[in-house]
Amino acid sequence: MKGKSGMTKRLAYLGPPGTYSEQAALAHDAEAELLPFPSFASAAAAVDSGGADQAVLPIENSLEGAVTDTLDVLIHQSHLFIRNEIVVPIHHCLVIEADADADQIEVIYSHPQSLAQCRRFLEKRFPGIGQVASLSNSAAVEDMQKSTLRAAAIAPERAAEIYGARVVERGVQDDPNNLTRFVVLATSDHPRTGADKTSICFDFGDDAPGILHAVLGEFSSRGINLSKIESRPTRRTLGRYIFLVDVEGHREDPLMAEALASVEAQVSTFKVFGSYPMHVSSAV
């Protein structure tokens, strides 16, 4: 896809090539120039600095919940907006060196989210074997190949193909219904489509009974459906939280605009992450 300048769009993602983030970036725009970065923060920073047009980051997994690194980018580290969302099925593979023996493995590498998603498989197949966190699922294959121990990795099949490793078992995630929701970050959110979602965050300066109920009531009283709510520590003091909310509708819809203004008047910190087209199954 061409950008406004007529040049190919540049998409930042968590690299190296072979990650699920790359898969999501290709699903978002197969014609874009893909730019791998070593962390979520650096991928977002590339858009902030103009080095990329958009960044594709995982934000939620159906088994393990929120991807906190991406939430922290949105809350604390960036002024970017969510412009789109993509849902990608996750199919983990057990990967080893081409000439290795899976029964002699001494250590297993993968991204922490992937290790968590394969917890039961690893406990049953490799009880007592050490697990080491990698920066990405694809980097786990490189870490495996550089290891001085007999190693394996949990990684996508594409990563095994790229690095010349061997897939021993496919579909090793604990639940077959393993989906990851990715968000596309850009300098602006998406125009109204009629089937949109808006993501916001807020916190309170003081605690009092009923304050969260009153804020959420601004949506229900206007017939606006709340599709998700979660919380993150504020980083300022123990026991205080930032609330992250997804609601159905676009921030420019009249009733939504009213609700958002009423919420902002009642809270201490308020940020609209953006409005964007809602994935067909993401509101369920």
Q: Is 164 left (phi over 0), alpha (psi -120 to 50) or beta?
A: left
pLDDT in tens, 56-71: 999 999 888 899 999 9
CA distance 158 to 61: 20
Q: What is the DSSP letter of 3?
A: -
In the prediction, which pLDDT does 284 show? 33
Strand partners, 8: 2
In a domain, 5, yes or no: no
Cα 135 to its chain centre, rounded Å, is 14
Catalytic residue selected from 37, 40, 81, 182: 182
CATH (domain of 273):
3.30.70.260
In the prediction, which pLDDT does 6 show? 55
Using CB atoms within 10 Å of the CB of residue 189, give its burial: 0 to 12 exposed, 13 to 18 middle, 19+ buried.
buried
In a domain, 191, yes or no: no
CA distance 19 to 57: 11
- Supply the pTM of this predicted model: 0.85
In the prediction, which pLDDT does 235 show? 79
Residues of the domain holding 152: 93-170
Instruction: Check if 182 is active-site.
Output: yes
Domain's final residue, options 160, 186, 212: 186
72 to 26, 68, 78, 232, 254: CA distances (angstroms): 24, 6, 9, 9, 29
CATH (domain of 153):
3.40.190.10
In the prediction, which pLDDT does 281 show? 59
In a domain, 3, yes or no: no
Counting Cα atoms < 13 Å in the Cβ hemisphere of 60 gives: 14
Using CB atoms within 10 Å of the CB of residue 211, give its burial: 0 to 12 exposed, 13 to 18 middle, 19+ buried.
middle
Domain count, the chain: 3
Catalytic residue selected from 180, 202, 204, 219: 180
SS3 category, 261: helix
Residue numbers in the chain where pLDDT is lower than 50: 282-284
Instruction: Check if 219 is active-site.
Output: no
In the prediction, which pLDDT does 239 show? 77
